[in-house]
Amino acid sequence: MTQRPADAPARQATPFDPGPPPLQPSTWPTWLGVGVSALVARLPWGLQRALGRPLGALLKLALASRRKVAARNLELCFPDADAATRARLLDEVFTALGVGMFEFARAWWGDVAPMRKNLRVEGLEHLEAAQAGGRGVIVISGHFTTLELSARLMCDYAPLAGMYRPHATGAMEWAVKRGRLRYATAMFGREELRPALKHLKQGGLLWFAPDQDTRRGDSVFVPFFGRPAYSLTSTHQLARLSGAAVIAFAHERRPDGGYTLRLSPPFADFPSKDATADTARVMAAIEEMIRAVPAQYLWIHRRFKRQPDGRGALYQ
């Protein structure tokens, strides 16, 4: 376990200079959301944690369609659990989501000093070994409610760049870059393959979460909780083209209120010549992270919306 010295300064990310885009009527809801997030980020952390549970309960009521998706995902992924156990887990999922909303706001707009006080960081030696000789490293994670906060905390120890899905509205695109470039060294859109590869070939660290079903990018069906899941082969492709190592990055919110960030040893013999096999290894690593803290995963995403038979009826 590595502890960050109390007086150690946070790593400096690349400044994001462009000002916000012009205010247009169609973007007012986005700007309102950004403004509320920035204000909420400044509430005391103890109050935010206390508000997380009721916020989660409210989200469970208000987001009926997402609640149904989450419940169906839990049914699909934990078929051996009884209905009462899954119901309790569903409540915990939305509690984690409520707390995660405040963590998200702090990661982008606020101060994370309270989270640094009870932080455990494990496995930095794996990252240092992987970088030996100037080799780049791909750091993979899953879509957990702690994702944004954990990435910011990890950037105190490692200069992570990130990949993300660009947004159609200028307001949201500005907010994403403004928020994440407070801590990340760079942000690459998912179509910016050449600069991302250049970053890796120069020995950089590239962090992203390849565990959601997206319409763009080369994808294959691989097992995920025992079911076929349409999954991006991007980890295989980036490693093959750049020669980078691949490390899994797990993170969790502990019951004592602290956080744990954990880097695993690099994947052995990766990449292989088989993109499907490599993608299955990546999904298996993310599944292992989820099983450790199932309530903190973002179950509201329709992970199994596409199936090999083309019918996609699992959420009907």
**How confident is the model at residue 25, as a pLDDT?**
60
Give domain status of residue 308, yes or no.
no
pLDDT exceeds cutoff 50 at 196:
yes
Residue 212: which of 77, 303, 308, 310 has the closest Cα?
303
Model pLDDT for residues 278-315, shown as the tens digit of each residue: 999 999 999 999 999 999 999 999 999 999 987 667 89
- The segment with the largest mean pLDDT, out of 24-28, 83-87, 175-179, 189-193, is 83-87
Give the residue numbers spanning the domain of 55: 26-296
pLDDT exceeds cutoff 50 at 6:
no
pLDDT exceeds cutoff 90 at 213:
no
How many structural domains are present in the chain? 1
Residue range 169-198: mean pLDDT, rounded: 89
C-alpha distances (whole Å) from 69 to each of 38, 131, 243, 299 are: 29, 40, 38, 7
Pairing of strands 119-122, 137-140: unpaired
**How confident is the model at residue 176, as a pLDDT?**
86
**How confident is the model at residue 177, as a pLDDT?**
87
Q: Are 235 and 224 in contact (CB under 8 A)?
A: no
- Tell me which residue has tokens 């294959």: 220
pLDDT exceeds cutoff 70 at 5:
no
Reported as a pLDDT band with limits 50, 70 and 90, residue 26 is low
Give domain status of residue 197, yes or no.
yes
Model pLDDT for residues 127-151, shown as the tens digit of each residue: 999 998 899 999 999 999 999 999 9
Reported as a pLDDT band with limits 50, 70 and 90, residue 172 is confident
pLDDT exceeds cutoff 50 at 9:
no
Give domain status of residue 18, yes or no.
no
Q: At what angle do helices 193-201 and 234-242 cross, to 10 degrees?
A: 50
**How confident is the model at residue 34, as a pLDDT?**
86
Give domain status of residue 311, yes or no.
no
Show the tokens assigned to 255: 């019951």
Which one has a higher pLDDT value, 152 or 313? Answer: 152
**How confident is the model at residue 207, as a pLDDT?**
97
Show the tokens assigned to 95: 């509690």
Give domain status of residue 7, yes or no.
no
Give domain status of residue 226, yes or no.
yes
Show the tokens assigned to 222: 């691989």
Q: What angle do CA 181, 185, 186 make, to 5 degrees?
A: 75
**How confident is the model at residue 296, as a pLDDT?**
98
Q: Contacts by 41-49 with C-beta closer than 8 Å and gap 24+?
A: 41/102, 41/105, 41/106, 41/108, 41/109, 41/110, 42/109, 42/110, 43/102, 45/106, 45/114, 45/115, 48/99, 48/102, 48/106, 49/99, 49/102, 49/257
Give domain status of residue 21, yes or no.
no
Give domain status of residue 4, yes or no.
no
In the chain, pLDDT over 70 holds for what percent of residues?
91
Instruction: Please state which of the ranges 6-10, 261-265, 266-270, 294-298 shows the lowest mean pLDDT.
Output: 6-10
Instruction: Please state which of the ranges 102-111, 186-195, 280-289 shows the lowest mean pLDDT.
Output: 186-195
pLDDT exceeds cutoff 80 at 11:
no
**How confident is the model at residue 166, as a pLDDT?**
82
Reported as a pLDDT band with limits 50, 70 and 90, residue 24 is low
Q: Are 200 and 246 in contact (CB under 8 A)?
A: no
CA–CA separation, 231 and 250 (whole Å)? 19
Instruction: Please state which of the ranges 21-25, 50-54, 253-257 shows the lowest mean pLDDT.
Output: 21-25
Show the tokens assigned to 240: 């093959």
